[in-house]
Structure 1
Amino acid sequence: MTPARRNLCVAYGVIAFVALIATWWNNIAYIADGGDLGEFVADGYANYASSSLTNDLWFLALAAVVFMVVESRRLGIKYVWVYVVLSFAIAISVMFPLFLITRERRLSESRTPTPP
């Protein structure tokens, strides 16, 4: 793996880690405050600002899932369904960077020259 790809993977890893903390800090606080999963999405539409952010997130998630499926098929990455399911169970902001790490590793493998 080239240093540039390695650095990119590190950046994606940092983003995933920070996203995990940022999302789950709020998820745990939401549940501790008496919120439940059935109300979670509805609460995302509490006002125009939160509705805009919620809609933005849904459409970004949709684009990311389409990209993950297409790239997985193109590059032969197995088990893309795990990334998709965990995107909605954990957070798309966590799983998409983890998918990008896998993608970078696959791209690095496919461009490594084979010895004669």
Structure 2
Amino acid sequence: MHKKLFWVYLVLSIVGLVSAWVFNALAVMNNQDYAGAWFGTAVDWVLSADFTVVAIAVVVFMIAEARRLNMKRVWLYILLSGITAMAFTFPLFMAMRERKLDHLSLSEKAV
């Protein structure tokens, strides 16, 4: 099961990265206003607040889960999410988490 989830998360991570690149490139080429798009109307505020709360929860989960599983360099996923997109780094973290869980379950079977 871990290997299947690893690949699902890895594919989602790649889709998240490519979509972020494409749509950010389009926004930059069209000189679009990011702040205006995020906070222009009440609907934008709702979506922005919603995504912000989810992003904070994701970061808390990533830190807690990385500590629990003794995963290294979780800060790198968080840093990359600010440079690329959470749609890339969170599924990537989840893929690496599945890999770690698989490794841990193999270690337990060996004992």
- Do the structures match in fold with TM over 0.5? yes
Structure 2, gaps ≥5 residues long: none
The residue aligned with 1:19 is 16
Deviation per residue, 1:15-53 (Å, 9 max, x gap): 111112222211111111124xxx524431122222222
Deviation per residue, 1:68-110 (Å, 9 max, x gap): 1001111111111100111111001110000001111111111
| Range moving further from structure 2, 14-23 or 40-49 | 40-49
Name the CA distance, whole Å, in 1 between partners of 2:20 and 2:43.
18
The residue aligned with 1:90 is 84
Q: What amino acid maps onto 1:114 in structure 2?
A: A
Name the CA distance, whole Å, in 2 between partners of 1:61 and 1:44.
15
Structure 1, gaps ≥5 residues long: none
Name the CA distance, whole Å, in 2 between partners of 1:50 and 1:21.
23
The residue aligned with 1:64 is 58
Name the CA distance, whole Å, in 1 between partners of 2:16 and 2:47.
16
Of 87, 91, 104, the match for 1:110: 104
| TM-score normalised over the length of structure 2 | 0.89
Please state if 1:47 is matched with 2:41: yes
Bigger helix share: 2
Q: Which of structures 1 and 2 has the larger relative contact order (alpha carbons within 8 angstroms, sep 6+)?
A: 2
Name the CA distance, whole Å, in 2 between partners of 1:56 and 1:46.
15
* 2:6–2:98 Cα contact (<8 Å) kept: yes
Q: CA RMSD in A?
A: 1.5
The alignment of Structure 1 onto Structure 2 pairs a total of residues equal to 109
Aligned pair in 2 of structure 1 residues 79, 41: CA closer, same or farther (>3 Å)?
A: farther
